[in-house]
Every structure is written in C-alpha cells, then in structure tokens.
Amino acid sequence: SGRNGYDHANYIARKGFHAKREDLVVTGHGNLPSWTGDDPSNFWTAAEKYERENGAVYREVTIALPIELSMEQNVALAADLVAKIAPGKPHQYAIHAPKSSIAGEANPHLHLMTSDRVDDGIDRPADRCFKRPNARDPAKGGRRKSSGGRNRMEMRDDLISTRELVAETINQHLAINGHDLRVDHRSLKERGVGRKPERHLGPARIR
C-alpha cells in the first residue's frame, strides 16, 4: 500500500518522465466516482489530499503474466484478473512488457492499483468520499473501506485468498489456450520443493 498515488499512477501508465521506458502494452481504469470526470489522476490526487493521515491512498498488486500466452491472450487474462480482484473498487491498471536482459524475451506483468473506498451507489463530492462512514446517514459520511475493521490476520488471509484466485485465473486461461503448464500460488517451501526461489536481479546487476 502507498501514499503517493498520483506519481505512482503516472509510473504505471508511463506518463511524463516515465514515457521513455517504452514497455507499456495497455492501460485502463474503472469504478471512478462521477467527480473524477473518468480521469484516474483526479481520483488519486483527491485521495492523497483527503484520505486520513495513516490511511492507504492505494494498494497495488503486481502479477507476472505467463510468457506462454500471446500478448492478446494476456490482455484478456489481465482484464479477467482486474474484474475479479477489484469489484466495485476505484482502480487503475497497466500491462508492462519489458525485455528480459538475460533471455531477451518480453517479461509481461500486470500492475493493478486499487482504492479500498468501494462504490456504494451514493454520489458524494470528492472531499466527503474519503471521510469516516456515517452508519446513521451514509450520505453524510464517507465511503466504507473494504479493509475497515480487519485485523492483521484477516488481512493476511485475504492476501492468501487473492493469490489463490490469481493462480486459478491464470491456470484457466492457460487451459483455455491449450497449454499444459500450471502455476501454484504456494511458496516453494509450502510445496516441499528444496531449491531456493529465483531472484529478480534488475538491470544494474545483470550489466
């Protein structure tokens, strides 16, 4: 989770300074309140301004997409993942496909930014959207947060469930497109596999 939503949204959408990376495949957004004018930048700017001091402006998941699927098939997979992970949540997403520095092939992955302020059908102005909810008169308070009242163990269980959902969805798309490969959301240790997980080296290390 993070505070600086506007800058991070520009990073994933490869806007401004980040445009030089040239690895953007597709970007999209959804479930935005009417006051945003369907522009996610307006949502993240307001979230930074009005979200409470220690509250998360956004949460992000980054999901590796299988290189066995074509880019068109991965775009369809990403749309399915977004629909399942962010129902009712204001969100913005992008697929990046940078070239791997070792193998030289595309390394596609999905970035999905979500807000916990789930749409409840009440049209509020920007400043009220992020206020505390008012149980007696919901229109006078802010939107409820999907993470509201959850303790650390419940948040951890949610994360495990999301990882399981992601693996199931990827496997469905691999099967539909005729691939025998399957992914597993469990760690190598949980699966009883002895080898260490591979590390992402990053361009500097590879050079």
- Would you name the residues annotated as active-site residues? 11
CA-to-CA distance for 137 and 134, rounded, in angstroms? 5
Q: Which of 33, 23, 7 is nearest to 119 (CA)?
A: 33
Helices marked H in the chain? 5-12, 40-50, 71-85, 126-129, 152-176, 202-206
CA-to-CA distance for 88 and 116, rounded, in angstroms? 9
